[in-house]
């Protein structure tokens, strides 16, 4: 229907008519309501410099013709599309998907759309995805997951993040990277692990297995907290009790079964599904949880509630972290300068296995 073409070119445009519905444009609206495109633009953008009468007239036409401004054209002029890039290693992961869910909800609320990328954990892929998102002229880049802090071995690993931060503000959820225009929000995992370890020791546990699937920033914090608690209590740090496995329930179980000589009376796992793996191991060997073996998970995900017995888990307040990031993002985009670059939120230990502590 419509699409008269730009008035200045006097209907030169002859779009072939496909089965596709054509998008109405600002020239159509202008013509239909007998004003100039400038006026239509003013109405659309809520400028006060339009008479009430004209405004209503134009609004009526817009309503009727279901006009939506072309985001490309708008973006071209403003160099922004009110779009946020979100990158995570894997959206099928419970923790990531939950984070993205919070972010999307909040951002949507403020009129921002989300472009999603899943990068995995490889350096190359992370860089490629970040570049790709940036090329979409996102307003902000949000990185979800502590994998983006790098392995800690080579500072150059995170160079691409600092490079991105030269274009747009970058927000890290549950991760930490230093740099200008980079903003972080993360749980105090160190403290969480410290507290859990301390509590286990107090209950007389002597051999606490530290179960992890990676060496991310977050995992390193947990390990450090665990080790510090041991040291502070005068216990030795045993290398064999730091157990690294693939994050897959049955794999964890099998690996633990395969190391029968490894003795431990409690488990601090870096996430809930690792903890469930330990649970399955205990089940297979007939070890009672929590009477004979204490198992504590991390992230307080649905996994911790799904298993039997249900797991005590450290909650790092993901929702809080996400909302915190969005709040600060809005401030930064508004041009506010005094915005905290780092937000460290205390973890909360959610107790489920009554005799754990």
* Residue 294 binding DNA, by CB under 7 A: no
Least Å from the CB of residue 41 to DNA = 3
* Residue 145 binding a second copy, by CB under 8 A: no
* Residue 292 binding a second copy, by CB under 8 A: no
Q: Which is nearer to DNA, 46 or 236 (CB)?
A: 46
Q: Which is nearer to DNA, 76 or 237 (CB)?
A: 76
* Residue 250 binding a second copy, by CB under 8 A: yes
* Residue 78 binding DNA, by CB under 7 A: yes
Least Å from the CB of residue 355 to a second copy = 17
Q: Which of 60, 64, 76, 237 binds DNA (CB under 7 A)?
A: 76
* Residue 182 binding a second copy, by CB under 8 A: no
3-state secondary structure the chain: CCCCCCHHHCCCCCCCCCCCCCCCCHHHHHHHHCCCHHHHHHHHCCCCCCCHHHHHHHHHHHHHHCCCCCHHHHHHHHCCCCEEEEEECCCCCHHHHHHHHHHHHHHHHCCCEEEEEECCCCHHHHHHHHHHHHHCCCCEEEEECHHHHCCCCCHHHHHHHHHHHHHCCEEEECCCCCCCCEEEEEECHHHHHHHHHHHHHHCCCCCEEEEECCCCHHHHHHHHHHHHHHHHCCCCCCHHHEEECCCCHHHHHHHHHHCCCCCCCEEEECCHHHHHHHHHHHHHHCCCCCCCCEEEEECCCCHHHHCCCCCEEEECCHHHHHHHHHHHHHHHHHCCCCCCCEEEECCEEECCCCCCC
* Residue 157 binding a second copy, by CB under 8 A: no
In this chain, which stretch among 42-50, 157-165, 234-242, 289-297 interacts with DNA, using CB under 7 A?
42-50
Site size with a second copy, rule: CB under 8 A:
59
Q: Which of 46, 48, 234, 236 binds DNA (CB under 7 A)?
A: 48
d(CA 174, CA 147): 9
Exposed, middle or buried, 204 (CB in 10 Å: 0-12/13-18/19+)? exposed
* For residue 254, cis peptide bond before it (omega within 30 degrees of 0): no
* Residue 56 binding DNA, by CB under 7 A: no
Least Å from the CB of residue 119 to a second copy = 9
Site for DNA in 14-33 (CB under 7 A): 23, 25-27
Q: Which is nearer to DNA, 41 or 323 (CB)?
A: 41
* Residue 69 binding a second copy, by CB under 8 A: yes
Q: Which of 42, 126, 129, 205 binds DNA (CB under 7 A)?
A: 42
Instruction: Give the interface with DNA as residue ranges (CB under 7 A).
Output: 3, 5-6, 8-9, 12-13, 23, 25-27, 34-39, 41-42, 44-45, 48-51, 53-55, 67, 69-70, 72-74, 76-79
Q: Rule CB under 8 A: which residues touch a second copy? A: 19-21, 23, 68-73, 75-76, 79, 81, 83, 86, 90-94, 96-98, 100-101, 104-105, 108, 113-118, 131-137, 166-168, 180-181, 249-250, 273, 276, 279, 283, 302-303, 305-308
């Amino acid at each position: 229907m419509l699409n008269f073409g730009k008035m200045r070119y006097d209907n030169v445009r002859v779009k072939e008519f496909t089965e596709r519905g054509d998008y109405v444009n600002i020239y159509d609206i202008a013509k239909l309501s007998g004003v100039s495109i400038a006026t239509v633009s003013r109405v659309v953008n809520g400028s006060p410099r339009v008479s009430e009468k004209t405004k209503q007239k134009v609004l009526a036409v817009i309503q009727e013709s279901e006009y939506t401004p072309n985001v490309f054209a708008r973006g071209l002029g403003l160099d922004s599309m009110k779009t946020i890039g979100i990158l995570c290693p894997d959206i099928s992961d419970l923790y990531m998907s939950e984070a993205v869910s919070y972010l999307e909800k909040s951002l949507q609320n403020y009129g921002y759309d989300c472009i999603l990328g899943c990068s995995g954990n490889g350096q190359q892929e992370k860089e490629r995805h970040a570049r790709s998102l940036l090329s979409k002229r996102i307003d902000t880049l949000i990185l979800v997951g502590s994998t983006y802090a790098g392995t800690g071995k080579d500072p150059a690993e995170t160079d691409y993040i600092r490079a991105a931060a030269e274009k747009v503000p970058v927000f890290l959820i549950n991760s930490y990277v230093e740099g200008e225009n980079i903003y972080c929000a993360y749980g105090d995992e160190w403290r969480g692990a410290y507290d859990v370890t301390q509590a286990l020791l107090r209950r007389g546990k002597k051999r606490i297995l530290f179960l992890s699937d990676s060496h991310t920033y977050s995992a390193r914090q947990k390990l450090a907290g665990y080790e510090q608690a041991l040291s502070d209590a005068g216990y030795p740090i045993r290398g064999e009790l730091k157990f690294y496995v693939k994050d897959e329930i049955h794999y964890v179980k099998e690996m633990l079964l395969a190391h029968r000589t490894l003795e431990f009376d409690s488990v601090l796992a870096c996430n809930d599904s690792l903890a469930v793996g330990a649970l399955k191991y205990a089940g297979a060997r007939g070890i009672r949880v929590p009477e004979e073996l204490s198992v504590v998970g991390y992230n307080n995900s649905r996994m911790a509630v799904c298993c039997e017995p249900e797991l005590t888990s450290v909650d790092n307040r993901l929702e809080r972290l996400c909302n915190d990031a969005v709040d600060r993002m809005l401030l930064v985009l508004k041009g506010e300068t005094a915005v905290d670059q780092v937000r460290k939120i205390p973890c909360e230990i959610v107790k489920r296995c009554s005799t754990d502590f």
